[in-house]
Structure 1
C-alpha cells in the first residue's frame, strides 16, 4: 500500500511542479520517448537476465504493490511457546495436527522434521541452507529492478540525443524545431523519473521485505530448535525475545500462568 501511495504522490508533486514551472502537460504525450525509455529498459533487462528470472518480474511487482502478510515477531513467539507446551505435555507427535494447518512451507518443514525425530544438527543445517537459498532468490529479484534503475536514466540521455538529432534536421522549421527539443528533454525526464522514482525505490522495497522475511525465518529456526531441545516454554520465550526491540520485549515478557508452568515443568 505504501508503494502505491508513494507513486501517486510522486506523480502529483512532479506534475504540479511542472505546471507551476509553466510546462504544458500535453508535452508528456510523446510516444517515442515512452518507447525509448520503457521499451529500451525492458530490452536491456532481457539482455542482462535469463528468461527464467525475467518471468518473475510481474510477481515481484505484485509483491511490492501488495505486500504479503507475514506474522509479527510477537505472534511468532506466542506460537512457538504454545507449540513447546504441546510438545512437552503431549509429545512431539501431537505437533502433527499443528503442522498440517500451517501454510508457510519453511515453518511446516521444520515442524515435520521435529515430528520425524530428525537429528538436531542435520535439521539446523537443512533449515539454514534453505534460508541461504531464499536469500539468494530474493537478491536476484531486487537486482532486476536496481539494474532497471541504472539503465533508464542512461536511456534518457539516448532519447535526448535522438531528439536533438531530429531538431538539427528541422532548423528551418521553428515549430518542428521546438517540438523536437521538447521531446528530447521529455525522454530525459522519463528516464530519470522511472529510474529514481520507480525502479530504484522498488528494488529497495524488495530488499526491505526480504530482510523482514529472513529475520522471521531465523527466529523460526531458533524456535524450532528450542522445541526440539525440549526447552521449557519460558526459556523458548526468552530465547526468541532477544530479537525484539526493547519496548516490544517488555510487552512480550508476560509471565506464563501458574497452571501452564506446573504442567510443562
Structure 2
C-alpha cells in the first residue's frame, strides 16, 4: 500500500469537505445528483468515446497502482542477476533452465528462456527492447486516460453550472429559489475542478512516474541478461548494474 497516495486522497477529501464547512456552505452544498450526472457520468461518457476499449481496460487494470504500486527491489534484482551469472559460469547457460518457470515476471522469464536457448546477445537485446517499448507505450496510453478525464471534467463542470443558471433564470419570478438555485449551479463547477485536480490529474502523473520506474527496472534486467549472455565476470556485471541503483 502506498501510504502517500492514501494520505493524499484523505487530505483531498478533508480539504474539500473542511473548506465547505469552514466557508459556511455546509456539507449539503457538496451534494447534487444533477451535478454528479453532468460531470462524473459525462466525463465517463466522454472518455469512453475518446478511448479504444483495450486502452480503457488497461487503464482500469493499472489504476490500482496508485494505491498498490508494483513492487520491485532493484538491489534484489541485481542480486538475482548475479546469482544467475554464477550459475551460468558453473553449469553453462542450460543451468538456468530450472530458474525460468520459477520467476513470476513474464518479461524476465522470456529473457531467461532466450538465454537458455542460446540466442545471440544482440538478438536478446533487440527482442526485449521491443517488448519494453510496446509495454511502456501501452501503459502510457492507459495513464493518459486519466489525464484526459482531468481535461474533460472541468469543462463539464462549466456545462453543469450553465445548465443550473438556465434553470435559475426560468424561476426569476420566485426570488426565494434564486439563492439555492445559484448555489446548486456552481456545485457542478466544484465537481469538475475538484475531481480533475484532486483525483484524475494526480493519478495520471503518479501512474506515469510508476511506468517510468518500471521501465528503468526492465532496462536493468536487459543489461544484466546481456552481460550474462556475453559471459562477463560477476564482478564486472555488478559494476555495470551499479548505475541503476542510484
Report the counterpart of residue 111 of structure 2 in structure 1: 110
TM superposition shift of 1:135:
1.1
CA distance in 2, matches of 1:5, 1:175: 41
- Asked whether the equivalents of residues 40 and 153 of structure 2 are also in contact (C-alpha less than 8 Å), the reply is yes
CA distance in 2, matches of 1:220, 1:66: 22
Report the counterpart of residue 36 of structure 2 in structure 1: 34
Aligned pair partner of 1:10 in 8, 12, 25: 12
CA distance in 1, matches of 2:134, 2:141: 11
CA distance in 1, matches of 2:205, 2:233: 39
Report the counterpart of residue 150 of structure 1 in structure 2: 151
TM superposition shift of 1:76:
0.9
Q: How many residues align?
A: 244
Report the counterpart of residue 121 of structure 1 in structure 2: 122
TM superposition shift of 1:52:
2.4
CA distance in 2, matches of 1:32, 1:172: 22
Instruction: Name the SS of the counterpart of 2:245 in structure 1.
Output: coil
Instruction: Name the SS of the counterpart of 2:171 in structure 1.
Output: coil
- TM-score w.r.t. structure 2 length? 0.96
Report the counterpart of residue 170 of structure 1 in structure 2: 171
Aligned pair partner of 2:61 in 59, 62, 65: 59
- TM-score w.r.t. structure 1 length? 0.89
Gaps of 5+ in 1: 246-265
Deviations 1:78-122 (A, max 9, x none): 111111011001111111111120010111100110100012221
Q: Say whether 1:24 aligns with 2:26.
A: yes
CA distance in 2, matches of 1:82, 1:56: 34
Report the counterpart of residue 139 of structure 2 in structure 1: 138
CA distance in 2, matches of 1:94, 1:163: 71
Report the counterpart of residue 217 of structure 1 in structure 2: 218
Q: Say whether 1:90 aligns with 2:91.
A: yes
CA distance in 1, matches of 2:171, 2:210: 50
Over the residues paired in the alignment, what is the CA RMSD in angstroms? 1.1
